[in-house]
Amino acid sequence: MILPETEWRVRAGLDRLAATLGEARFVGGAVRDALLGIPAADIDIATPHPPAEVIRRLKAAGIRVVPTGIDHGTVTAVLESGPVEVTTLRRDVSTDGRRATVAFTDDWREDAARRDFTINALYADPATGEIHDYFGGLADLDARHVRFIGDPLQRIAEDHLRILRFFRFLARFGDTPDAAGLDACTHRARDLMALSRERIADELLKLLVATDAVRVVALMVARGIFDAVLPEIDQAGAERLARLAERERQGGIPPHAIRRLAALIPADPATAEQIGARLKLSNAQKRRLTMAVAPPAHPARPLAYRIGVESAVDQLLLSDRPIDEAASIRDWEPPRFPLSGGAIVARGIKAGPEVARLMRQVEDLWIAEAFPDAARVEQLADQALRSAISR
Ligand SMILES: Nc1ccn([C@@H]2O[C@H](COP(=O)(O)OP(=O)(O)OP(=O)(O)O)[C@@H](O)[C@H]2O)c(=O)n1
């Protein structure tokens, strides 16, 4: 088997990087995805050279190096076309489910054996493209089979995140779940508690936008995978997610991880806030999640003007409103309110709360009239002023 020509293979500097290292192979996600014909996220290179030697060679070739994970033998080579991780072959000496102590090796098979799934342990020679497959990864990839290398229970004990990775890869391209893998993940679901919430969130958000997320999330709920870490997620949530995914498809609107999370959790802002905090989401993500679970309180454009296009699309898709409404605003740019406080003051109102009140009043009229131009807004301002004076 030969690595197909991919977009990333021709990335500037990659061949030179591989040549500089001498003994080196592409590995992991980039190889897996190239064989599936899908674009790769990041590129990983494995090499038998110890980290110090990797650094020496890269520096000598004038390639910038950042020791990103030097304890685990990983350095990042910074190419003009993007970063590439170079990791020394290793085996895990001891693990606690979160971190591993490693020993370097020059044995490719040993390095393959410490990886999670057979499809993630494929290596490709940079010069010839030849694939090295130690655990039947090619056959599994062909069958869309996500299979742990070795004993699933042991592999999960080494790194609990693999429970979520199993489901994520299943959602990305998996076919029928591997029975032993699925049982092990089900059995050890409580181990997820030991992981940092950021890592859980990161995996979950990636999973939620994968091709087969709906089917896989339903499976995860049925298997109680969320029970320990996100007990709010239940079958009703899985059904809401299915409905949202269908509406996204009908509206031609790309899935969004936070919107999908909003479907999965109870539609209540206080709960959304709690879950956002628990998962250590960014402030922007927390805001979007909390906003998404609220029902849409206005027609599409006024809604988009008031809460932003993204949140308006989220609320509309998560509601019962016609899908056209969400589709109609997805590329709409809300106009800026063309009236300044100065324009009210110029009409003889003393700067202060009364100006703010009048501004809001005119803005409401402007929105109700579907955002007419500045000339009309001047008229609306005069009107508001007259009624304020006659009160
Ligand atoms: N818990 C983990 C994480 C990673 N890996 C190994 O490290 C490689 C790179 O990991 P990462 O970049 O996190 O994932 P990818 O497989 O590249 O997947 P994606 O591109 O979807 O992130 C994986 O392919 C796998 O061989 C592993 O064995 N166990």
Which residue puts its alpha carbon closest to atom 19 of ligand 1? 29
Q: What confidence tens digit (pLDDT) does each residue in 224-275 have? A: 999 999 999 999 999 999 999 999 999 999 999 999 999 999 999 999 999 9
Mean pLDDT of all residues in 343-349: 91
Q: Is the ipTM of this complex over 0.90?
A: yes
Q: What confidence tens digit (pLDDT) does each residue in 197-223 have? A: 999 999 999 999 999 999 999 999 999
Q: What pLDDT does 7 receive?
A: 79
Mean pLDDT of all residues in 322-335: 96
How many angstroms is it from 210 CA to the middle of ligand 1? 16
Tell whether pTM > 0.90: yes
Which residue puts its alpha carbon closest to atom 16 of ligand 1? 29
Which residue puts its alpha carbon closest to atom 8 of ligand 1? 28
As a whole number of angstroms, the distance between CA 214 and CA 207 comes to: 10
Q: Answer whether residue 10 shows pLDDT above 80.
A: no
Q: Answer whether residue 25 shows pLDDT above 80.
A: yes
Q: What pLDDT does 325 receive?
A: 97
Ligand 1 atom index nearest CA of 44: 9
Ligand 1 atom index nearest CA of 161: 1
Burial code of 201-230, b = ≥16 C-beta within 10 A, e = fewer?
Answer: bbbbbbbbbbebbbbbbbbbbebebbeebb
pLDDT category, 45, cuts 50, 70, 90? very high
> All domains of the chain, ordered by start, with CATH?
1-143 (3.30.460.10), 150-231 (1.10.110), 233-334 (no CATH), 341-390 (no CATH)
Ligand 1 atom index nearest CA of 40: 20
How many angstroms is it from 201 CA to the middle of ligand 1? 16
Q: What pLDDT does 46 receive?
A: 98
Q: What pLDDT does 388 receive?
A: 80
237 lines ligand 1 (CB under 6 A): no
Ligand 1 atom index nearest CA of 41: 20
Write the DSSP string, 86-110.
Answer: EEE-EEEEEE-BS-EEEEE-S-HHH
CB 247 within 8 A of CB 317: yes
Q: Answer whether residue 391 shows pLDDT above 80.
A: no
- Would you call 340 exposed, middle or buried from its count of C-beta atoms within 10 A (0-12, 13-18, 19+)? exposed
Q: Answer whether residue 96 shows pLDDT above 90.
A: no
111 lines ligand 1 (CB under 6 A): no
SS3 143: coil
Q: What pLDDT does 145 receive?
A: 97
State how far the alpha carbon of 6 is from the alpha carbons of 11, 87, 213, 336, in Å. 9, 22, 26, 44
Which residue puts its alpha carbon closest to atom 28 of ligand 1? 115
How many angstroms is it from 177 CA to the middle of ligand 1? 19
Q: What pLDDT does 137 receive?
A: 98
Q: What pLDDT does 390 receive?
A: 79
How many angstroms is it from 57 CA to the middle of ligand 1? 25
How many angstroms is it from 285 CA to the middle of ligand 1? 24
What six digits make up the tokens of 137? 């990864």
Q: What pLDDT does 294 receive?
A: 97
CB 80 within 8 A of CB 97: no
